[in-house]
Structure formats: structure tokens, C-alpha cells
Amino acid sequence: MAASAVGIITLFAVVLAGPLAWAVATYVQSRRKAADGAAEASASEGQVDGKETEREEMSGVAYTLSLLGYAIGLGNLWRFPYLVGKWGGGAFIIAYLVRLFVVAIPAYLMEMVMGQYTRKRTVGCFKMIHPRWDGLAYGQALILLLVMAYYNVLLAYAIIYIAGSLVDPLPWAADSKNYFNAEVLNGYDDYIDKGLGPVQWKLALALLVVWLIVFASLAFGKKILTKVTWVTVVGPIVMLVVLLFRSVTLAGAADGIKFYIGKFDGEVLGDLDMWASACSQILFSLSPGFGTAITMSSYTRPKENVFRTCMVVVVCNSAFSLAGGFAIFSIVGNITFRLNAAGGVLDEATGVMALTTVAEQASAGTGLAFIAIADGMRAFGSGANAMSVLFFSVLLTLGLDSTFCWAETFVCYVEDYCLVKGGTKPAHWKIAFMFTFDFGWRRLVVHVKLATLGNLRTPLGQDVVPSFFWRLGIHFTMPAGCLFLFFYIFSSDVAEPYGGYPGWLQGIGWFCLAALLAVTPLGFVRSLMSGTGSTLPPLEQEEAALAAALGIKSTLPPLGQNEECTI
């Protein structure tokens, strides 16, 4: 094996793409500032539990980029195509879009508004709404730790494959499945009497690199993180466009695309497993319930139009998944074409070679990216190393965005705890029922209207329309969908242990779930014992302010205190 000059040059281009985009955008912004004679404020004041603390403030572009990076993650390009292949093509996409509108978007908007309204991170936000919910906030902090513990391992896989892409021929060219299972995972055929097994040093070093990247991006505050997001948001988009245009020209790509958008297995629409998969996919992608949208929104400008930002993020997130599917299924179609041209695959039942289908290759499970697609890189011929660097760099940067936001959110949990207990802020380096009962739909509508009143694009304020859709989603379909997903997956895992793992590993998983469920009631107990209540300002006060503002700026009638707010 020898170093691949094409792969190395491509990697340098990938690394430089984001900073270049940031530099251009910064130059344009500075020219605009000079022309307008305006200076951007660098910080604003906020409070945590009544104590003043200097708060960094994010510009509208930085806020949108951060949320885009948070939403568009590894699952968009890795898990989404696998689920489409598993659940009958277009039928899954319909279920995904339904769950997007009736569950994920209402939950996402709710968190964004609460963060901007309270100007507090998750713990402070929940306590301000009502102290009974602070246990839920700390439960979300525990979720972040558990998710990052395994999510970053996936990013470590991508780093190993990027390193392998710099070698010619590709180290997995002979047998991609064996390379992933043996060289990357050092996996076992079964888990009987195996224990934890030895440390896989290649994977351990790659995981260390991931955590060092996270540390370097978060250690110096949000200004540095904003610059990093130009790399991790713009980079994947550019790389995906290149990958997409090159993939659709491969032999057999049309068959893959036909399966992706042309196949529709209507029977699976009656399968609850499919609906649970669609719901979990979009919820994990947008990730409401982690506290990150609340935290990020608490740093945006008070006059930022979070309703519009929410729509931009959810549309771009789903568009990235759908566009990425064309690239992935083009490659899967080519894999199927090459296998059939070579005589097919071995049928284990009959012991003879048989032709394979796109559906069979697309249902390769979690190994779709690291086995099937990795093997498909060979189809690019002399450009195999370059395209391999592009693909696995996309996976890495998509994942880094999400883990940056999760880690930043967890840092905020620690900062808030230190502020409450010690009164000082440490150096930066060293969901539906709550809304329905204590925050309220009417407060959301009034806040969005007040926050955007007088903006250039919304001089009369942003209307949350259609009102009936948002109220139905927030009060019914979103909590109902989440409860359905929880109890259905819970019962499924009880009936059939996940992944065939041994009992002691299953026990660790159940213990983590029990810990998460146990944290939330603690806030209720402490609230009852202390007798404290919500510190949100009276809704009538904000309605009066909105009515006065509308009376001056428009001929719209003011809102009465007892009117139903259906703006």
C-alpha cells in the first residue's frame, strides 16, 4: 500500500472549504457594517436564578448555523437511507413527513420560543417556568452524557475510514465487511463469556481525536464555535453536492433512485414498527428534549424571528436527508449492478449464486455506510480515494456539529449548577406537558409577535399560523406521538432484548433508563417542599404591551385579557 496523493489533496481541500466560506462571509458582513455605520453588540446581560452573569449573544446567522448543525447530523446520511430501504421506499418517507409535521416541528418550535423568551439555558428556563421541572432539566443533562458516549464512537469510525482513504488501494477493497468487523470493531461472532474484551487501540485513538476536536471547538466560547460551524455546516453541503452529482452518473444508479422514490410498499403503512422508526428518526434528528434548542435560543437576539428560523431549520434538515438519499441509493444501485454483473451473491439457503436487488443491499442495517457504501467507493475508479475522503468527511462533520451542540449544552448545565451553588461562573473550558401546563400556547404566540414587532421583514410581528395546526400539534399530536413511541419501544425491548446482547449489558441499559426516569420526579418533590412557583412575568402584562404596540403601529384591534389568542 502507498499514500494516495489524490486522497491527501482532497482532504486538504475539505479542511480549507469551511474557513474559506467563513472568511468570505465575514468580509461581506464587515463591508455591510462599514456601509451602514453600525457595530454589532458582542454581549448581552442575562440572569441565572436571579444572579447577573455576562452572556454571549449570537447573531442571526450564527444562531441559524448552530441549529442547522445541531439538526443535520450523522443520521441524515447514515440512518435515514437505511430506514428507507428497510421500510419500503416511499412509504417510509410519507411516515417520516407525517411525524415531522405532527410531532417534531411543534416540539422544536416550543423549545426555541421558551429559550428566547426566558433568556436562560435549560435549567434556568425550566425553573423559571416552574421549579417542579428542574428534575427534568437534569435528566436531559444525563441523556446528553449517555448519547455522546456512543454517538462519538460513530464519529471515531469515520476518522478511521478517512485515514484509510489516504492509502491506495483502499484497505477495505478486498473485503469491506471483514475490515469493519475485524479491523475497526475487533468484533465477536457472539458475546458468550467474552466480557468487555481488549481495548481496540485504533478505535480508542480515533475516539480521543474526536473528543480533542470537541474540546478545541468549545474551550474558547461561542465566537470560536461560530467559526467552527462554518466548517461543519457549509462543508458537508458542498461535499454532498459533489458526491451527489458524481454518484448519479454511476452504472446502476437509476435502479437505486427508482427504488428510493419509485417504490411504494403501502402494506408497511399499517406496521407500527415502521411508524415508530419514522418518529424516532425525525425526533433524533431535530432532537427536541435534549435542552440544546433551548440553550442555543437563549443566546439569540431578543428580536430574532425564531418562528422563521424554526421553519428554515426543519426544511433544510429534511431536505438534506432527502437529497442525501439520492446519493446513497445511487451508490447502492451501483453496488447491486456490480454484484449481479459478477454473478450475484451466495444464497445461504440453497448454496447457489443468485441475483440480488437494491432492496436487499439497502437493508444492510447499520453497516450500510461502513460496509456497503465503503465498498461502493471502488466504483469511482481512479477517484475512489477522493470520493471516499469526501463521503466519510461528510459523515464526520455532520456528527461533529451535533456533538458540539450537545457538549455546549452540557457545559451550560454545569455552569448553571455552579452559579446556583457557588455564585461564580467557571471558565468555559474548566418537553410537552410542562409547556401545556406552565408556559402555555398563548404566551408563545404573544412572545413571537412581540419579539418580531418592528423588524424589517415583520413590521407588524410574526404570526404563528395556521393557529389550529400549531395548537393541535403542541397540545395533542406531539405529546401523544412521544408517549406512543416511548411505550411501544419499551414494550418491544422487553419482549425481545435489543441486539442480542448478553444480560449484564442489557442490565446496564435498563439501569440508565431507570436513572433517567427517576430524576424528573425529584423536581416535583423539591417544589412541593419549598412551596415555590413560577417566576414567569404575568401574561396579562405582555398582552397589554402587545395591544399597545399594535394600537400604535397598525389598525389591528388590541387583544383583550380574556380573548383567545389566535394570531
Asked if residue 61 belongs to a domain, the reply is no
Asked if residue 492 belongs to a domain, the reply is yes
> How confident is the model at residue 317, as a pLDDT?
92
- Out of 102-116, 213-227, 421-435, pick the least confident: 421-435
Number of domains, the chain: 1
> How confident is the model at residue 417, as a pLDDT?
67
CA-to-CA distance for 279 and 268, rounded, in angstroms? Answer: 15
Q: Which residues contact 336 (CB under 8 A, 6 or more apart)?
A: 252, 255, 256, 356, 357, 358, 360, 361
Asked if residue 433 belongs to a domain, the reply is no
Kind plus residue range of the DSSP H or E element containing 44: strand 43-48
User: What's 183-208 look like in SS3?
Assistant: HHCCCCCCCCCCCCCCCCHHHHHHHH
pLDDT band at 223 (very low <50, low <70, confident <90, very high): low
Asked if residue 536 belongs to a domain, the reply is yes
> How confident is the model at residue 45, as a pLDDT?
39
Q: What 8-state DSSP symbol labels residue 264?
A: B
Asked if residue 564 belongs to a domain, the reply is no
Domain, as residue range, for 342: 5-35+91-419+439-548
> How confident is the model at residue 432, as a pLDDT?
42
Q: C-alpha distances in angstroms, 491 versus 83, 484, 498, 505? A: 21, 11, 11, 18
User: What average pLDDT score do residues 315-335 get?
Assistant: 90
Digit-coded pLDDT (tens) for 354-411: 888 888 887 766 677 788 788 888 888 888 999 899 889 888 888 888 888 888 888 7
Say if residue 552's pLDDT is above 70: no
> How confident is the model at residue 361, as a pLDDT?
81
> How confident is the model at residue 29, as a pLDDT?
67
**Mean pLDDT for the chain overall:** 79
Query: pTM for the full model?
Result: 0.78
Q: C-alpha distances in angstroms, 552 versus 251, 445, 454, 462, 501? A: 64, 19, 11, 17, 65
Digit-coded pLDDT (tens) for 109-147: 999 999 999 888 888 888 888 888 878 888 888 888 888
Say if residue 197's pLDDT is above 80: no
User: What average pLDDT score do residues 286-308 get?
Assistant: 88
With the CA atoms of 27, 28, 33 and 35 taken in that order, what torsion angle do they form, in degrees rounded to the nearest 10?
A: 110
Say if residue 36's pLDDT is above 60: no
Asked if residue 555 belongs to a domain, the reply is no
> How confident is the model at residue 358, as a pLDDT?
85
The CATH number for 483's domain is: 1.20.1740
Cell of 297: 435560543
Q: Characterize the bridge pairing of strands 167-168 and 2-3.
A: antiparallel
| Cα atoms in the Cβ-side hemisphere of radius 13 Å centred on 53 | 23
CA-to-CA distance for 262 and 441, rounded, in angstroms? Answer: 40
Asked if residue 65 belongs to a domain, the reply is no
User: What average pLDDT score do residues 22-34 get?
Assistant: 70
Asked if residue 41 belongs to a domain, the reply is no
CB 269 within 8 A of CB 48: no
Digit-coded pLDDT (tens) for 71-90: 888 888 878 887 887 887 78
